[in-house]
Chain A
Amino acid sequence: MSIFPENKMVILRRVSQVFFLCAFMYVLWSTTYPLTGSIPSDVFFVSDPHIVLLTAVAERMILPGTAVVLAMLFFTFIFGRFFCGWICPLGAAMDISSFFNKRKVLLKEKVNARIRKIKYFVLGISSIAAVLGVQIAWATDPVVMTARFISLSFIPAATLFLDRSFMFLVRDVGFYGKVYDIYRTLKSSVLGINAYFFGNTGMIVIFFAGIVLSAFFVSRLWCRTFCPLGAMYGLISKHSLLVRKASGCVSCGKCMTACRMESIKNPGDSYTKSECVLCMDCVYACPGEYTKFTFRDPFRSSVNNNPTNPTNSINSTNPKGLSRKDFILLLISSLFLSAFRWRKRNGSRASVTRPPGALRETEFVARCVRCGNCMKVCPTNVVQPAVLEAGLEGIWTPKMMFEIGYCEYNCTLCGQVCPTGALKKMPLKEKQKTPLGKAVVRKDRCLPWSRNENCLVCEEHCPVPDKAIKIDIINSGGIMIQRPVVDRELCIGCGICQNKCPVRPSRAIEVIT
């Protein structure tokens, strides 16, 4: 710790937070065709132990990110909850929001002690669910939640704003010269061809905004109260090697008000170690150089490392661990998981069209962490978040909406960016033979069938080299009418026929599963 003056560590922490927030946004932004970003697009998800471990338990398998996750847990054992204070993008967003409020609200210690417990319940419920084979870590994980917000709301909104601003400048104000050229260059590079949009993101925005706004009033309220990833790190950091020491403390109490997690309740050494996110605020606030973070002897138990003052021991808030009452409460609250198991009796077929390479429905729902990567990366915007179409357990899972886009024949991007393998990584040859469904012609609406007018847009667009749409020619009053017929053997259900069909409001050719 001597390489950098300790009371300046807070600056280093802020730089780190901004860096990782920008890196997070960059990674998500570069999750788009042609995937040339130098950082793999799932790096933040595979290094998240909450997501990886619970998905692995629920699916009874080892996921690719396990090594990274074990490294993260090991570093947490050495340093404590460094992830929460230095890396977490949601934490950074919350810190930015609380930065604007100078009048901090401090909670009563009794309240703090109570609300801290909740996150262990959240983690406990997800863990029990994982053991039962249901993965609900996606609902509360901070990394995935932030990614969903940034990928599905923030980036689309930002690009849409830029796009419309340029459109206004060019079309309405008449800057057809250089401004238009800049816009065209941006479009083929940074801005992307289309402003993508995603349905049903209201809940995602409300969730995220609620959490960030709560930090405006009470700093890091979500981290203290609900965050299951924080709970997981907290369980380990209870025994971590880096501890806070305040030798020669003058009991001014400045660290107590400075601490964003309110983990210091008395002046001096005492603090709730599992709550400390190493933000270094206490070191910064300390009037002298009394507060320091030092490594303890790794071979002595962390609980007794302050034998002279046992009442001030590090884990003083929760010496007993989980009480019997809490355990029973945890079991009872886990009962609501039955809601997630209920629909499985309806069989293993999805009620929506899944992206190519999706596992069987039951496994897919358990494996999918709803990070939004497949939706963000899709070049045609066809992959959209589901609400309740796929059941309660399928909230925000990807579904294909062929009215919006279609599955590009020469594209395997969604499988490449899936962090948990819910969408298989497939070689292009295999993906081109994987059917998403089969198209059917609605003969009552189709123009050649119902009105004897030539159209054949579906046949023109069919990407299968031998054409999965065949022609039925009839002679109608001297005019040859070509009618489309789907060859069920060849059709791969990519949905381009449905997407390009000019018939409205509902298309005359549809993909069914």
Chain B
Amino acid sequence: MQASELLYKLDCFFKNKMTRRGFLKICLGGLALFVSQNAFLKKAFAKSVSSSGRKKKKVRTAYDIVVAEGKDPAANVRAAITAIGGIERFVSPGDTVVIKPNIGWDRTPEQAANTDPEVVAAVVELAYRAKAKRVNVFDITCNNEKLCYESSGIAKAAREKGAFVYFADNWNVVKASFPYKSPMEGWPVLRDAVECDTFINIPVLKHHMLAGLTMGMKNLMGVCSGTRGLIHVDLGRKLVDLTDFIDPDLTIIDATRVLVRHGPSGGNIEDVEHMNKVIVSAEPVLADVFCAALMGRSPSDIPNLREAAKMGYGRTDISTASIKKIEV
């Protein structure tokens, strides 16, 4: 191409002399740019869309299960965690910690449908004491997010201790992938729950019609996006796979107030029993088995525990566990 020709073309461009061929070229170029930009950006910057899950930290604990009983829930938490070996075993300095309480329902703490805010606040405080870089608190709620976060008192209590409390975004997810065949394959799970250093699961112990009781494993449903109702079909198997995927480092079951009927949303004060206990364990299945026993239910009544026993996931035999009981 001659220099003069190029100059002429440039001249045409600036003088707005558009040829038909030039117009078509610009159109096609624009279209190609439009199509490729999204793909390009995603390739260049975006994070991976699928994940094979977390791996929990290898931690030796002093006991398998610690139960603290006392009037003050926060003191229970502190005593139980100290007894199991201290929060430093689970949270290293500079860690990003995810605390996943149950904030599912637009209910007050007295109605016992959500985790006690004092328990959550105590754990946040402990995590920061272990020099965590950042503590994230979130849940995908069943009722409206704003109402749940406020009524449960968790947002306020955790923010006071410096935690980041936010509404989870259903688009910031990874697709779960498993090394074995799983009904949860491809399920969208919150990225923040997977990409963290420490995952602390703080469920509340309460009644549930389908699952018998909701405890640690059922609480993990709160990090699943998508049509969560479908998890209820073949619930046991899906919860076991989900627990394997998230692999929580620490499970702190809040049994301060326990909803014994009309769960999981409750609403009647008469349905709430004050047990004033906090159960801490590094093994999610074992913690659930212990709580089921605490409520006088056999693990075979609970679909996820039944399935875990069948698949050999985790420990379901409570007789082999070392249990420490503390009075605070």
Contacts and interface: CB of A to CB of B under 8 A. Distances in A.
A466 B265 CA distance: 10
B180 interface: no
B146 A502 contact: no
8 A-B pairs closest in CB distance: A465-B267, A502-B229, A174-B45, A457-B229, A184-B166, A456-B210, A465-B268, A379-B144
Given A184-B166, A465-B266, A466-B262, 14 more contacts: A34-B146, A167-B169, A172-B38, A172-B41, A173-B46, A176-B47, A408-B106, A410-B151, A453-B234, A454-B233, A460-B142, A460-B208, A465-B267, A482-B209
A447 B38 CA distance: 39
Interface in A390-446: 408-411
A10 B151 CA distance: 49
Contacts of B143: 408-409, 463, 496
Interface residues of A, number: 42
A502 B210 contact: no
Contacts of A387: none
B248 interface: no
B38 A410 contact: no
B234 A464 contact: no
Interface string B203-246: 00000111000000000000000010110111100000000000
A34 B150 contact: yes
A45 B179 CA distance: 61
Interface string B256-286: 0000001011111001000000000000000
B142 A500 contact: yes
B233 A463 contact: no
Nearest to A408: B144
B167 interface: yes
B42 interface: yes
B59 interface: no
A153 interface: no
16 contacts: A33-B144, A174-B45, A181-B164, A184-B166, A187-B167, A188-B167, A379-B146, A409-B143, A410-B151, A411-B147, A447-B233, A454-B210, A455-B210, A455-B232, A460-B142, A463-B106
Interface in A77-133: none
B313 interface: no
Contacts, number: 109
B145 interface: yes
Tell me the dominant secondary structure on chain B's binding face: loop
B277 to A, nearest CB: 24
A193 B233 contact: no
Given A172-B45, A502-B227, A456 B232 contact: yes
A462 B268 CA distance: 13
A471 interface: yes
Contacts of B262: 465-467
A501 interface: yes
Interface string B14-57: 00000000000000000000000010011001110000000000
B172 interface: yes
Contacts of A460: 142, 208-210, 232, 264-265
Contacts of B147: 33, 379, 408, 410-411
B8 interface: no
A343 interface: no
Interface in A451-501: 453-457, 459-467, 471, 482, 496, 500-501
B66 to A, nearest CB: 30
Task: Classify the interface of chain A: helix, strand, loop or mixed.
Answer: loop
Nearest to B269: A465
Contact of A461 (B42, B46, B142, B145): B142
A463 B147 CA distance: 14
A157 interface: no
Given A171-B172, A460-B264, A501-B229, A471 B38 contact: no
B171 interface: yes
B46 A172 contact: yes
Contacts of A170: 172
Contact of A502 (B47, B232, B267): B232
B323 to A, nearest CB: 30
Nearest to A194: B145
Nearest to B226: A502
Nearest to B166: A184
B172 A463 contact: no
Please indicate which of the listed interface residues A409, A457, A460, A500 has the most CB atoms of chain B within 10 Å of its own CB: A460
B135 to A, nearest CB: 14
A302 to B, nearest CB: 54
Nearest to A451: B233
A380 interface: yes
Contacts of B106: 408-410, 463
A509 to B, nearest CB: 11
Contacts of A501: 229
Contacts of B230: 502
A174 B47 contact: yes
A193 B167 CA distance: 7
Contacts of B209: 456, 459-460, 471, 482
B149 to A, nearest CB: 8
B45 A173 contact: yes
A227 to B, nearest CB: 38
